[in-house]
Structure 1
Amino acid sequence: MYSVLIFLTFCFHFINGQTVNIKIGAICTDAADPQVLQLALYDILQNNFIIPQIAFGFEFRNGCKDGTGLDYVSELHYSHNVSALIGPNCSEDIDCVSKLVTIWNLPVITYAASVKSEKRASPVSRIAPTTANTLCDSIITIMKELNLDKLVLFYNTGDSNVVSQALYLIKVLNGENIQSRNFELQSTNVTWFEFNGMVNIEEVQKFTRVIILLMGDSLDENLIVLQHLRRAGITASDYVIFLPWINEDPEKSYPWLENTISPINRSATVTVNDNTKKDFIGTYVIDSDNNGTTTTIQFSNLLLNKSQEFTRQNRNKLSRAFVLYDSLKLLILAVNQSYTQMGHLGAFNSSLMLQQISGITFEGASGVVEMDYNNERIPFYSLYEIRDDSDFNIYQIAKISPIKYITESNQTTYYLKMSGLDQSTKDKLKSKTAEPACGFQGYKCDYSKWYVISGTITVIVIAIGIGYYLKKRGPNGFRRIFTSNKTVAQLSWHIPIEKVEMIKDESPRALSQKSESELSAASGLIRHVGITNETAIVYNNIVKIRRFKQLKNINFDQTEAQFLLSLKQLVHDNINPIIGLCYNNPTNELLVLSKFCSRGTLSEYLHNPEMRMDGKFKTAFLRDIINGLDYLHNAPIGYHGNLTTSNCVIDANFIVKLVSVGMEDLLEDWKDNNLIEDIEDTTTSKMDIRPINEHPDEELLFRAPELLRKAPPIRPKLIRMSKNEQIRIKLMCRMADIYSMGILFFEVLFRQHPYADVQTPVEVIVNKIRTPTRQLLRPTLPKVIEKEHHPAMIQLMQACWSEDPISRPPIKRVKKLFSTVYKVRGGLVDSIIQMMDQHANSLEKQVRERTRLLEEAQLRADRLLAQMIPKDVARDLKLGRPVIPRGFDCTSVLFTDIVSFTTICSKSSPMEIVNFLNDLFTGYDAIISQTDAYKVETIGDAYLVVSGVPNENGTENVKVIATIALQMRQYLSQYKLPHIPDFKMEARWGLHSGPVAAGVVGLIAPRYCLFGDT
């Protein structure tokens, strides 16, 4: 980005002793634009179009699209205080700029050719010779002049500007009662296979002989579609093909022209590529009327002499320079008139300048410029024919000019009228487009009688042939004839049952043995995602299996086969593919096989508190979702239809993939036709390891309000509808996907369920979304939003929640804004490695924390076991060694119980007894813990202690036991019952010495017991 400020001052007389300096902000999209504007200012000055008291200067900014144009406009207004703007030219920014400059009351001259949504005056003046609105109006004029009432429209859905233009044209056609058949093509580089799947050639041939291609802003973007049409038998010799040409790009010219650089003097020579031109021969181009003026000749000579950027052969670049010249001249003339009326103040009066622009007429470089009272340039179009010759140019055959008139409200306006079309050309066009009495393909006439006769003859001939064949082949003839039905089993989505190798052991170890590279995630995480569903190996891929009970044989008609093929062809990094179907098996089961993703659903991952996610993780997940949805919106399938966090899965490389695309609709259709039914008590989840939702209505929280009010038809029914109806429903569902994506954004960014703060049942929330009031119900943003959440993304998310589907941003705009806000450094592999490093660090922290908890639990278990069983015996049990009973020759045993325990029990509740015994025996335990003795057990009020077991201590055990008895007596003499404090506690003690046997008895709750006469 660079800034150049140039002021041209010259001799003048002073007003109040000051020069009026007008600073113009210019947002350029081509490297030559600054030089063009400087030369234009020089030429306008030389021709005395500038009042001597005024000096003009520029503040240049280079760049447009991706939101940069909007940033530059704000900078030029606030930081540089420009008086007017030229640009931006990019259609993505001009709508937003229009709203801002309306508030600022700042004049803007733009040459953008996008559709203008408002038919009223605004600070934005459009001076482009061709605009999307007026180009569509010129098409209507041509149709009326030739009395045509039907056309076929092909347009590119991959270009948002083209989509806007196509929708505007369809709206105008409907208003003029002109029928149209509209076909969406996902890009200008559509393949023949894709073209053949999206376009019903037979319908085109039956409907009309008039075709319009809206594939982009320049002619070369129509080339591939023209080639496909020619391959399908639709050529310019039989059809009238119109190519509207907006042409915003100065680098694009006629597609059949090639620049050849001489190796000797490096001079450029323009030649005609006949192979390319043959596809355009006979078509008709609708473009601006290129009648130049003296200004055109003068300024073009100046450009050719002063700049090496321009040549006479590069028509497009010269045309763009002419429009820049006219933009500057329009602005200068408006300033001149404002200054003449109000002097120094008038030159800075934006409202007055805008008034001067309305209705102004002047000679420009791009022709005569006439502005209407909505600050739009009045168009002058021509119809051109591309002929079979070696000339570089195209031939003008008619003009489409404005005819002015005054309305009842005394305002001057215009309509377009076609003129100059000679009678022979008109007759040629009408002969191509005239529909025969029986229709273009004879479908209006009844040929049934001849069909019956020919059909009868054909059946007889075939029957004779079959009889002869069977006679020669013998009894197995029929079997050989109908073996072709087995080709159904060879369809790309069909998986033979013998190819499905079930994984019996569903542990992580078993899966890793099958494909270690696929399941490199930690076993704990795999255990977390719940590999409880059936898994299998199919063609060396681990797949998830969803089972259904098959009630009847499944046979595919052509429509279903095409639909399944389109599902199978969904190949993208962010789409989890359907591997195939296994049906018509001896087990009477339908198996739906999809690729296994080891890290579970996005919903599970988001709401697992052990999984740490920073901003990079979240943006990577969102980028994957946007890319996947963008691919679907441009694929023949058209939309997702049920986008939720449960319908997104994460593979081993932390790539998010969209699931449940289209297959659910087909399964629902088969259920309605009683072909399949769900298997009860199955552990198989819905699709692609999606968990069984305890509240199935929660998925409705992601659904757009318009779909809650009226659900679209399932895809098997949709693909049987008319093309126009399919286009309408697909557009509606794409906008609904944007709403669902906005709700999904909320859950990813803030890691909380949508509407989690609303304390009402899900059904009530869904009903409020379905029937909105003045206060719309949407997820509530947290009071404190972290810095990692860019404000632009929050605004984008809220824009996706709009109640009006048209107000929601298309996926292309979402993708551009997201890429602008979150610029990714490095490639995809770098991002994945960084994400996996972060995840590995998170897992290491989890392992350390869980190891610490395990060690603490182990210590508690060891202490508890040591209190129940001697340490040596416990160690043998932990190590799995058998505990062999032992005999001890010299031991001493102590027995003690409480006197009058029955009386105490009669005066106490059970809980009081338990508490009192626990308190008393805890004191006894403290005494024993300080001696070389072992507490064997307690039974009721009896307490048993031994010394010399398991640690032999000779005759010392007698002294130890006697000491314990005395200490117990001393402790008891001071003990008082908590609930009967006046009761005097008494006990009996018995001591004996001799041999005993000791060992562990039992496996459940094992005890260390003593046996013997002692």
Structure 2
Amino acid sequence: MIPPLLVLLLLSQAISRDPTCFQQLKDTKWTNYNRLYQYLTGTGNHNFDESVTIGFLGAYGETKVGLGALPLAIQAVNSDPNLLPGRQLKFIAADIGTQNGRSSSLTTLPIRVMTVMRDSGTVAFIGPDGTCREEAVVAAAWNLPIISYRCADRLVSDKRVYHTFARTLPPSTKVSKSVVALLKAFDWNMFVIISGTMPAWAPQVKDAIKWLANKNNITVTDVYEFSNYIPKDIKKMDKLVADSFHRTRVYVFIGEHVALVDFVLCLQARKLLENGEYIVISVDDEIYNPAKKKNILLRAYIDPFIDTDANHTLAFRSVLKLTPSHPRNPKYNAISEEVRRISAQPPFCVPYHSKIFDSISVPITAAHLYDAVMIYARALTEVFAEGEDPRNGTAILKKILNRTYHSVQGHDVYIDSNGDAEGNFSVVALLDDMDDNGTKTMSMQPVGYFQYHENNTSLPEFKYFNESRKIQWIGGEVPLAEPVCGFNGRKCHSDRWRVIVILGGLASLSFIAALFAFKHYRYEQKLACLLWKIDMREVTIIPNGQGEKSMMLCSGQICRQSILRSIAPEVSPKRAYTNIGFYKGNTVAIKAVHKRSVDITRNIRKELKQIRELRHENIITFVGACVDAGNICIFTEYCARGSLEDVLANEDLHLDNMFVSSLVADIIKGMIYLHDSEIVSHGNLRSSNCLVDSRWVLQITDFGLHEFKEIVKSVASGSGLRPDVSGLDTSPSIVKCMESCWDEDPENRPDFRFVRVKLKEMQAGLKPNIFDNMLAIMEKYASNLEGLVQERTNQLTEEKKKTDALLNRMLPKTVAESLKRGERVEAESFECVTIYFSDIVGFTELSAVSTPLQVVELLNDLYTCCDSIISHYDVYKVETIGDAYMVVSGLPVRNGDRHAGEIASMAIHMLASIKRLKISHQPGEPLKLRIGIHSGHCVAGVVGLKMPRYCLFGDTVNTASRMESTGEAFKIHISHTTKDLLDRLGGYTCEERGNIMIKGKGEMLTYWLVGEDTAMRMARIQDIDQSSLSSERLSETPDLLRRPIGNELLSDAGDVAAAKLLHQLHLRAVRAYKKHRSQEMLTISKHTPKVSGHRSEPVITFRDTSKP
């Protein structure tokens, strides 16, 4: 191919063949115009009898080679005797350029040229190029015809304005009729438009197709647009496919060829074109060129510099291209060469160069120019024939519009009522082809065209060029515009449902038939199987001791002993119902059949299979059968307790109602199962055929296999034997049910389900069998035992608490806990404690005048009063002997020097209370309490094992006793040791008694304790945090915190305010103690959950109780 730059260079040096053209090329357009104007104005001849002149409005710089078609067409008209007979057609030409190429000074040039031409006798105009609105409106104003061969402006189709205008170049929108006609030809009633912005006619074609489709009741599902497409933007094209492929099966593609190729490749990438369901209709403005029929499949069809991918030939099987039809006139190439030759001659004088001129193809516009002259000549001929004025443009247009003319290209073209040529478009499809080497290939070839009918402005009709070379559809069928079931499958719900139901029914029937056939086959296989057959040589019969028969059966070197016997009435009662043996390690019952042989028919095999498959708790398990001649036996599971007949005959068994009811229930359940099975009936139900196993579960046996057994040839007649039931001690309903079961007429006997309902009252509260009932009784008994054990355990716990409480009253808590653990309590020495002794002066005389009961009541009142008092002090009651009362403080838990104060305060409190105590049988006689107190060293320990006592030992005990015995009534006698401790504590008032002779001690200085300063005691209690009480101390002496110190107990002190303060401190101490215990338990659970060993207990002081 010659580069464009070289073309321009050669054109600039080109020399015309005609010497006169060389001078004309130097003239300007204005010079040409002046020469033409002088020529026209000079003739002034308007006679049409000899010739008719038409004016050509062209753009020489644009059309170039194709301009030669005008003189050639004039020559063809003049040489045709049927066109303008007796007249010659002439033309005058003027180069007016295109509207886009004119300068502002030349915009009125076409109108001036047309005016000059009209005044010179021109009766019609051919042209112009490009936009032709001004020329068309001027011609319409003069009523002169104007026929354009290259004007594509849509507006000039309006015949209300441009009523003398026609054109042979089809408007770009005319292809819409062919598109819609193609859609209707294949019943594609819905489609999607994919349109680009390039070429420039694409938007107009898109709108025209959309409008015309709606007019013809074809649905445009959607319109997708893209702009400025380049091959690297293939993702944009793929997105268009992704958005639209589920909404359509037919695409109308309007755009450049390179975009079309990528669009088809995107469809192919999604495998949408494999089965022929999708079709793409492409609109192209390039005339189909047979020489490039294979390039249509490539992106290089438009631009040879675009990289071409692999030849995706198969993808274009689903592509139909609408292109302007290739000329079919066999003389078209010769006409093109003649046009090329004439174009180089005057008046056009196209520059000529042999290397360039011959390589330039004649444009299709040359054919449109040729056709414009020809259709005008035909119309003018008809106008002359009718005597009309050749300058009447309306008359000329009537002969052109709504008619078909035969184009120089070789096909017919229809001009509609708007003066627009419909054009001629071909459908190009992928067909089988042969390349130059004779190899079979495929290429894009024309398959059909569109034919317009005379005076018919509707859609054209699609026709095949050759009926033997039609479109090769994938799968051999035309794609559907919409799937049968719709794009979402909703249109086939009902039909699909019917199909599914029919297919499902057929499949079910086929499956059922196959299942029945398979089951029948399996059933026959099972019938043929001999799993039930037993070889007697594998059975070891256990001798019964009576009626035995034995025989030796030897085979080769193997010899086994089988003992065959018949059922004889002489056998042992425990095994009266059958013979037993061992088979494969299991104990089986053997029933001999007294027949020489049995013919194993299909019915017998069937019955053996049915019996072998029976599985129920109350039906005996069938093991197998031996059918050897002379040894016909039936083997079943062995029941250790024998038959029901044996059980009833055993006098050692005492059957209560529960056992009887359970056995009856087993019989009913077994017979119901047997009647519901394939065996249907028993036929010989009696007590000897009801077996009882080791679990006391009744199982029914001896059913079926009637052909094995002897046939009863006669039936006894008569009423038969029936037992007397008048003496039965049972419910009348049960007796009535029993009598109905042995009715003479079998039809009147109830079935077992009815019997189960009637005997339901017998089974109320029973388990399924006897063994379960026994277990239920044992479980109930065990539950009662558990409740009883729990009750006794609770009672024991309560008694233990009482015992512990009593023991804690007799012994200190720590000592009692050690004794309960079995530990030995060692005697403990205490440095200093205070011991209290008291008794009643004159108690012996008082007892002498009182009855024993009165004495007991007196001592009970006395000790109750004393016990209630000591519970408010940190003291421990040691013992009481008669009227004597012994209390100690400072043990078993040491409390520093406070023991003297606790005993002294308690003695004052007790003396005051005893003074108010009255003797019930001698109200006027007071109780004369005498108290002695001493402090000193002491040893304490547990004495005795059977009745242990916590005893005190030491001189301090004796001295305290002597202090009491040497004292006086209503006085508190204390030693100087105690007096020193009280002085150290403070708050106590003492009077010196003097030296007193104490037995074993000599003279001792003693004192009388006469009073107590309550305020000092309160202050001492507030400062008790100096010595502190540990949790152990509080737990050992809880009474210290629980004692309710109040006005009623301290009335003798007279200090109510002090009593209230003491009571408040007491309550705070109790709260602090409880809080401490809870915190201690929480701390232990958090920090020492599994630690063993000694852990020091926290100390609670009365300082903690200072806050409310």
The TM-score by the shorter chain falls in which range? Answer: 0.3 to 0.5
TM-score by length of 2: 0.32
